[in-house]
Amino acid sequence: MTALRGIYIQTPTAMADRQQREVRFDPFGALVVNTANADGTYAPGGGATDPAYTQTGYLPAGTDRSGTTNATANTSQQLAAANPTRRGLNIQNISANPIGINEFGGAAAIGTPGTYTIAAGGTINVRTNRAVTVVSGTASQPYTATEF
């Protein structure tokens, strides 16, 4: 089986004539595919689960990387360390002032190449496994960030 962001892909097993499959989401939001029993019914709780589609896991919860910018204005600090298993980060500026995000591992500095300036209320989705840094021209500005 090949996992692709929570959906499990495999060549379907052979089905008998007029056999049906039930496709549903479980209580955690994972896709589950069941094959009908020989009499056309599904067993209580979801049916006779087809082993080819047995769900083997859930997407992990994100890691909270929220915080505030440095207590000294215009001083870059690390928002998230390099992480080879990271898929990305969602970041929202919840302050009243702009913040800068550098996704390349270097120091963030608003108005310079390599740093994205995020206006108050703005968001950015960063797709990197390198270290990510944050800065603001005003000290101690809050942001919300989730690493996934």
Which phi and psi angles does 73 have, rounded to 5°?
-55, 145
The DSSP result for 66-101, as a single string, is -EE--SSTT--EEEE---TT---EEEEE-SSS-EEE
**pLDDT tier at 4, thresholds 50, 70, 90:** very low
| Cα separation values, 113 from 12, 70, 104, 117, 142, Å | 49, 20, 11, 10, 23
- Domains in the chain and their CATH numbers? 2-53 (no CATH), 63-147 (2.60.120.770)
Write down the residue that tokens 């039930």 correspond to.
Answer: 22
pLDDT digits (tens, 9 = 90+) for 111-130: 999 999 999 999 999 999 99
pLDDT digits (tens, 9 = 90+) for 49-93: 444 444 444 556 789 999 999 999 999 999 999 999 998 999 999
Whether the model pTM is above 0.85? no
